[in-house]
Amino acid sequence: MDERKLLKEIEPVAGDLLNRHLGVAKEWFPHEMVPYSRGKDFVPGSQWDKNDADFGSVSNEMSEAVRASLYVNLLTEDNLPYYFRDIDQLFGNDGAYGEWGRNWTAEEGRHSIVIRDYLTVTRAIDPIALERARMQQVRSGQVPAPLDIYEALAYLTMQELATRIAHRNTGKMMNDEVGEAIMSRVGNDENLHYLFYRDLATAAIAVDPSNMVIGIERAVRTFAMPGTGITDFEKLSREIARVGIYDLLIHHDQILQPVVMRHWKLEQVTGLTDEAEKAREALFKRIERIGKVGAKMASDRINA
């Protein structure tokens, strides 16, 4: 089925999912969550010292892995203009899709505001290095680019859920109740975004199963978190994985298995073309392999 025909066919579902989202999404305000009382002026030209950080606790410590995760999380949120561009081009800017895209963008915008303000006020990260990285990241405009709407539905589902998991796990390791509450609040938004795309993809599978299976296989095979373009991203990702914030085993156990295998029930899909059957077979083998590799990597880290 042509991509435009598919989008038209499932637009009523998108409208229902948008209304569901608007009915459960909670209004919140970044300025009410940021601990401004911990802040103080930055003297121009002064050097950042991580010992000046204030996390509202006795230890006042934050691990380098958590700093790396917050750094990556914020830079990916800052790339919002490019995500909006791609979603607008893929889904169009009219009707339910356009309304969803604009509302999603408004909600995502709060995430970068609240995380950046928290990091600045608490001095958790070198603000000059962070700003330079933000400028470089946004100037480069590098983001994952799904090939078509089928891959996009699968990728967006996985990416939103992965972001929720990474945000919440980061918060749990921050040693700061305020910081954890911020990351939990942001994670709750990401969870609602995930549910929209997951259920829209479910509708698409019912209408055009062959193209969706092919798109899901490609999305799983090429999946990458939206950190493309961040300097030393691979190194930062390894540090994030090392402490269990987000790694290959989490990707397998908390995304691929529950969503791709159980929720989308791809084993039960019928009427596939030969190409789609081959894609499904390759997909199942890849998911099994990811699980084995992820488990081994996690075991090796524990035993290192």
Query: Under CATH, which number does the domain 3-303 receive?
Result: 1.10.620.20
pLDDT at site 46: 87
According to DSSP, residue 174 is labeled: S
Q: What is the pLDDT of residue 170?
A: 96
What is the domain partition of the chain in residue ranges? 3-303
Task: Using the structure block, give the residue that is written with the tokens 């085993």.
Answer: 249
Extract long-range pairs of 284-292: CB within 8 Å, 24+ residues apart. 286/217, 286/220, 286/221, 287/220, 287/252, 287/256, 287/257, 287/260, 287/261, 290/248, 290/251, 290/252, 290/256, 291/249, 291/252, 291/253, 291/256, 291/257
Considering only the C-alpha atoms of the chain, give the largest distance between any 2 of them, rounded to a whole number of Å.
66
By percentage, how much of the chain surpasses pLDDT 90? 77
The segments of the chain whose pLDDT lies below 70 read 58-59, 304
How confident is the model over 202-211, as pLDDT tens digits? 999 999 999 9
**pLDDT given at position 58:** 57
